[in-house]
Structure 1
């Protein structure tokens, strides 16, 4: 067999086992072929397609970065038990995947990358698309994957394949280490032959580890929680990846402890659960942020405590706050200098906590406070969702219209711009898998490709719920090409494009730092002023652009009925068996309710602009609430 043939067949026979669930770890390969891989991985996939077409399906893509995004979306829907492999050619094809690699690793989601490399023998040197550095002749563009990957190796000789492939699988299926896994494949080695042991090509199972909490760590955590007057849970993505939403619901139902979620943790509890206060942090709700600010014990479950979760270290303001950090990764469990880490699986720890906290419940006064704050925030969302009748609706109204037309199990997909913040605050998640906002990397252009991966993941599991991608015009222009993939494969995806003629999120941020939306509007260049700040909107027709891909398009005409028309369009898209693109205009200056969160974006210390001077003064005021978050002394 060639190295490529052996690798592809090996991948086809790998299985992830999580309790009673057993599924293919790599159910398919995305590939774009060039001179670096057409004779290697491309030939291997073609051969299997002829001999055993069901063994390792091949899928086309239009952009290498998008292949990785699809893999990540798929992995999220399968709770990290499965992902795709992505094969790219030498040079630009390989480097196109770098952004995807960083996104996968940052989100702690598995993705297998197979970038081609230049000749290991250097018999043809330099080849087309080869990077040459005179100070390191052996350096290739694929070395850029090293800091972005959780595993990196290069198959420089055929016999290295065995240990490299097994090492890659170990990391892909490791709840602690998973992320981008990169196997660089020199184009000559891909096509070389080797005698492959039959053991290498037999089915192999990778059992996910679910480590139990250690007795001492658990006992310290229980004592601290029992002694807390105002405990608060931060539920992160680890709750969902562990399949622990039922255990979380049981624990908070019994104890009355309130919960706020990170972006990755959306869906850990349904929005109407009495203990669920919504998003926490910079894009949080007033309900979650007010309780977080007063919490004397913060129980982090499967969260990496990003700056948005901690509101740039202003969210948790009690001077004596302590952190009980439950995480399968020690790196995250020890954050904020906590003396109460629990390095264990989220689900197993929640089961143990429920048993140890039996009979314990927060005080009645605290329960009343939770109910009051939740009620107030729910009322604020109702107001934000109410149609205003404006010709150009605000984004909160648009979200409300989409929410009203979707089913509880439908999945909302988003990644970048102003939508993640509004969705985090406003979207009423009704299903554990119903909320997929890629916000660890917040990558513009993720939305359509990621949504396509989400839909693939659901379909593979026999789940036909709808996937709704919401995307702004800025992100759409970054990476819309996978609409061609949607049409080619007849995949039903609902894409809602919000046209606001610029970068709405950064435009708002630009105002807060005193830069007055400079460079954030899509406008015709003003040669006299030498900027893009004028009133002449670009005559770009993104609805026509989408229509050119062959997808069904519904355009919402601006006017007082725009919100009602949008809800009807979403309902029509759901009723259709084809993919639908819905285009709606919005007013980027209409914002949602203030959740009392903050994000630290430094403002220039000195400036000739009055707007920047004012912004600096406000910045100095707000950052006074920052604290080091080093935790307090352990409970004695």
Structure 2
């Protein structure tokens, strides 16, 4: 990297920011990455003359990507960040007003999932030449509030740059947070439009290349000793691998630890793929959407070793899963906040470093042979259930959703990347999908944001050129946010979009039925005479919609059609959509049912039979809930 320089340079604030961002790098394990590798933008009066003009000035240094929806631009940046293990991300610029507030959902997703993204919304005038200006929120009790303040609670760092010289500390703090593995998330620099365009004499040193080292904090010796004693004392230990395994690139260390100790490994949605599906220690997803194998082992475990997991309600089955009276927890996590959850013995460290220390300290220790044989048999039994769910009754039949996954399973290799976020697909994928590589399974379930998949696929494809990238979407998710198809076409990014048409919010429909709400308002159908949406399906053609946005579309009516269409899409060099109408699970075999509970409160008083019965079932499950103290 270049040495420090002296002198000054006359630039606008926006020009200085873009020049600064173009010279920021990360380093971990000797590997260097461009921290901000591109900037997405939609321009309005709040950023067109500032950041927009600056991007023209720096076109050779800062790649620009044209978006169609502000939320979607953040999703694309987040997808890129996850694919690069948080070592690189994108910036997103918008105008003040609705463009800025459209960032909020994407920012929440990024921060909840601990994924870095830099947000650069325009802001109202710092000098207040006219008050109010277009799109300004007037707050009678505070003159310094704008709509961008909605980004404060969903940002890992927030600053409003009201003077050019204030950019220097703000930009440096932004880079610090983006590259801090324990504190990263959405970082927001709100930029008043007059300040963006204001000239200033900047020190040349501000534009020198900077390398931000991404730390691997080592474990404390006393915490390692306590964790080792807990493992040696356990007869039925279980590892829960979370997203931190992937962020740390700790997959090989986890495999070595599991092989040395024989401890089985279950995975959260973010952690799936930490071990390949055929690894002897991999027992699949855990929790409400988990496998029977993993959930049985969780119920009977006397020690749970969490690695890089936040212990969400889906993972813990709303605090009902870990049923052994004396169960204890060891949590290896880079953040003390997560390491102390479940009243655990904390092991605050980088996941890879912590696993390597544990493996060395536990040399020679293995689980009882009977326990290893038990979970091996349960794993084989579950695999047979997966095969049954994947297997169609005929090549001429309409596929179920699991059968769509089964056909895709026969076509992919470890190079393929599958992206999903919402609906019923996350449950089926977590239970059934056979992950072949560390980064094949990309399900965003921290925020489970409908509309994430297509823009995220673009961000992932930009980070992994040449690899097949699949966005799997149900009809409800597709209708939420299809607009970045235009961007994929424009940029010639050959993503593969699979639309599964099931005429409504299938996941919430099933949940509604289970909690006594009778699938009310969850189907995409005409109104019936009783005013409910139970008439004929709507004549909406989502395939035609995708085609109208420039995508190549393949329609599949049967299993045989689907097999051909998915193979053709996988080989395609242009953005391609496969459209298939799925058979409902109440007419043919679907995915195995949930193996663990999820707490969705049911009406305590009701007159309808469905709700009364659902409440009885709810009360039964609630009785098993516990706090681990």
TM-score range, shorter chain: over 0.9
Aligned to 1:209: 215
Task: Give a deviation string over 1:491-525, Cα, whole Å, max 9, x none.
Answer: 10000000000000000000000111100000113
Report the CA distance between 1:595 and its aligned residue: 4.4
Q: Distance in 2 between matches of 1:568 and 1:290?
A: 38
Aligned to 2:519: 517
Q: Distance in 2 between matches of 1:175 and 1:57?
A: 25
Identify which of 462, 469, 472 aligns with 1:470.
472
Q: Does the alignment pair 1:334 with 2:330?
A: no
Identify which of 492, 495, 511 aligns with 2:494.
492
Aligned to 2:19: 9
Q: Does the alignment pair 1:424 with 2:430?
A: yes
Structure 2's unaligned 5+ residue stretches are 1-10
Moved over 6 A (4+): none
Aligned partner of residue 112 in structure 1, secondary structure: strand
Aligned partner of residue 100 in structure 2, secondary structure: helix
Q: Does the alignment pair 1:278 with 2:279?
A: no
Q: Distance in 2 between matches of 1:320 and 1:287?
A: 21
Task: Give a deviation string over 1:403-438, Cα, whole Å, max 9, x none.
Answer: 111122200000000000100110100000101000
Aligned to 2:356: 351
Greater shift after overlay, 389-398 or 193-202? Answer: 389-398
Aligned to 2:628: 629
Alignment of 1:574-593 (within 5 A): 574-590=570-586, 591-593=590-592
> How big is the alpha-carbon RMSD for the aligned residues of Structure 1 and Structure 2?
1.0
Q: Distance in 2 between matches of 1:421 and 1:578?
A: 29
Aligned partner of residue 320 in structure 1, secondary structure: coil
Identify which of 148, 151, 157 aligns with 1:145.
151
Q: Distance in 2 between matches of 1:536 and 1:504?
A: 16
Q: Distance in 2 between matches of 1:138 and 1:122?
A: 10
Q: Distance in 1 between matches of 2:584 and 2:46?
A: 45
Aligned to 2:182: 176
Aligned to 2:610: 611
Aligned to 1:602: 601
Identify which of 45, 48, 56 aligns with 1:46.
56
Q: Distance in 1 between matches of 2:604 and 2:398?
A: 37
TM-score by length of 1: 0.96
Report the CA distance between 1:124 and its aligned residue: 2.0
Are 1:551 and 1:579, in contact at CA under 8 Å, matched by a contact in 2? yes
Report the CA distance between 1:391 and its aligned residue: 4.1
Greater shift after overlay, 437-446 or 516-525? Answer: 516-525
Q: Distance in 1 between matches of 2:283 and 2:413?
A: 22
Report the CA distance between 1:531 and its aligned residue: 2.5
Report the CA distance between 1:456 and its aligned residue: 1.0
Aligned to 1:118: 124
Are 2:527 and 2:535, in contact at CA under 8 Å, matched by a contact in 1? no
Aligned to 1:634: none
Alignment of 1:160-309 (within 5 A): 160-309=166-315
Report the CA distance between 1:589 and its aligned residue: 3.2
Task: Give a deviation string over 1:214-245, Cα, whole Å, max 9, x none.
Answer: 00000000010011000000000000100100
Aligned to 2:112: 106
Are 2:126 and 2:194, in contact at CA under 8 Å, matched by a contact in 1? yes
Q: Distance in 1 between matches of 2:91 and 2:602?
A: 42
Q: Distance in 1 between matches of 2:397 and 2:261?
A: 47
Aligned partner of residue 418 in structure 2, secondary structure: strand
Q: Distance in 2 between matches of 1:529 and 1:140?
A: 45
Q: Does the alignment pair 1:530 with 2:536?
A: no
Are 1:406 and 1:571, in contact at CA under 8 Å, matched by a contact in 2? no
Greater shift after overlay, 221-230 or 573-582? Answer: 573-582
Aligned to 1:360: 365
Are 2:398 and 2:559, in contact at CA under 8 Å, matched by a contact in 1? no
Q: Distance in 2 between matches of 1:162 and 1:229?
A: 55
Identify which of 392, 396, 411 aligns with 2:398.
392
* Number of equivalenced pairs: 615
